[in-house]
Chains A and B, each alone.
Chain A
Amino acid sequence: MSQEITIIVMVDVEAALKDNKLDGNIYLIDNLRTDGSEGVGTDHLTTVINGSYWSDGSQATEVITNWLTGALGSLPPTLPRNFHVERTKSINEGLLQTIKNLPARKTTAAAKANAPALLSDVVNKLTKTTFIKDPEGNTRDFGIKPLTVTGDHFEKGKDDPSEQSYLAPVITDITGEAVDKNVFFTCQLGTPVYIKDGWYWCATADTSKVGEYSYTMHITLYKLVNNVYEPVKMTHDAKIKVSTAPQRNGFTGAGMGIIPLPQA
């Protein structure tokens, strides 16, 4: 059983949306730098996989590859998966508490005069949850509030745009030479919608296919437009290199033999 390969796909979402391209705004990191991967941490990654095969040419092991996406400068992915939902609930509870406190404020004339505006602001904030448009163009209720990088309610037009915690980019497909030549056998894991059922894209690599192959990641970024997360589709290329070496027996250095038990 081999180690899984993880390729972290970090995107500077703000810059990528501004430039309308991923080149220069994407950082690819895998866990095989010590095995010889090239361009780790840059936008041109070549992941090196140790190919292994038996003497008859058939592959000895499969290697599982995961692509995990992240948005630079956003809420960390180590937070519980339901963080957005829990924060939305908690922010709303705080807002409801404000309403509860309203009668006490009515004691002064100024507070009394201020109450309707405060109430309308609370109602406005309470109802402020987002919608999401999936890559097929269907809009649906997303149920969460846009958040800042510190987990507070992000209000567009009011807060500094750089404070926004962008949704993690979603990989919707892996295509290209590596897939066409059956080096990558990709797995489709449900609808790639963030939080609700968004998991990650993965592939099993056939390590007997020695050589260098390119592949294309189809990446969807989300842009917040009038309370709707609109998908913006982009692509980016990377490479996989399967190196060549036959498997050997650890005891003999060649084929199978006896277990070297000490003789009495």
Chain B
Amino acid sequence: MKKININIAVDTVEALSKETLVNHIYVMDDSTFNSKGQGTGHLETTCQPGQVIHWVATAIDLQTPVCIRNISFLAPHTGEEKPSHPSPATCTMSELDLLTWSGTVPYYMEPGVHYRYRLELQIGNGKLSVMYVDTLSLIYEY
């Protein structure tokens, strides 16, 4: 089964200036199952159990640092906004730089359910460097 790459392009300077990732990230994937919301902050990646998904973040200006700090899933049925895995304690860009974000879709993934996730990015080491969006999701359409 083909690996899915989820590419996150970030306008880091705008995100830092406006203090939000909303409208300043563009997320797209190469899933063969026609994901929805390509090129927006609302990407719904269509995948299947057993498939590998790989997330990568890139700064559009290439000059600023951006790293994925955490990817955590929100409870799909209860609508709870509590992420499955809390954000790690403070970490530096150099530590985050060594992390790769990929994994296999588990077999217990239920079809037709939106698994929303919180994507947390870190841009440099400043006070407002950590921001997240809750608008991305994985879905198993069979």
Partner of A261, one of B62, B99, B106, B124: B106
Whether A52 sits at the interface, judged by CB under 8 Å, is yes
Cα–Cα distance between A34 and B65 once the two chains are bound (Å): 11
The total of chain A residues at the interface (CB under 8 A) is 31
B62 to A4, Cβ gap below 8 A?
A: yes
Partner of A50, one of B72, B97, B115: B97
Closest A residue to B105 by CB, please name it. Answer: A259
Residue of A35, A251, A262 contacting most chain B CB atoms (<10 Å): A262
Residues of chain A lying within 8 A (CB to CB) of residue B101: 249-251
Whether B48 sits at the interface, judged by CB under 8 Å, is no
Whether A257 sits at the interface, judged by CB under 8 Å, is yes
A247 to B99, Cβ gap below 8 A?
A: yes
Question: How far is the CB of A45 from the nearest CB of chain B, in Å?
Answer: 17
Whether A36 sits at the interface, judged by CB under 8 Å, is yes
A52 to B104, Cβ gap below 8 A?
A: no
B73 to A260, Cβ gap below 8 A?
A: yes
Partner of B71, one of A3, A4, A251, A264: A251
A261 to B138, Cβ gap below 8 A?
A: yes
A250 to B100, Cβ gap below 8 A?
A: yes
B73 to A2, Cβ gap below 8 A?
A: no
- Known A-B contacts A6-B63, A35-B93, A35-B94; A251 and B75 likewise in contact (beta carbons under 8 Å): no
Whether A1 sits at the interface, judged by CB under 8 Å, is yes
A3 to B73, Cβ gap below 8 A?
A: no
B109 to A250, Cβ gap below 8 A?
A: no
Partner of B98, one of A64, A246, A259: A246
**B residues 88-141 with Cβ under 8 Å of A?**
92-94, 97-106, 108-110, 115, 124-125, 138
Residues of chain A lying within 8 A (CB to CB) of residue B74: 262
A262 to B76, Cβ gap below 8 A?
A: yes
Question: How far is the CB of B34 from the nearest CB of chain A, in Å?
Answer: 20
Partner-B contacts on A (CB < 8 A): 1-4, 6, 31, 34-36, 50, 52, 60, 64, 243, 245-252, 256-264
Partner-A contacts on B (CB < 8 A): 52-53, 56-59, 62-66, 68, 70-77, 84-85, 92-94, 97-106, 108-110, 115, 124-125, 138
| A-B residue pairs in contact (CB < 8 Å), sample of 10 | A3-B97, A31-B64, A247-B98, A248-B100, A250-B99, A251-B101, A252-B103, A258-B103, A259-B138, A261-B84
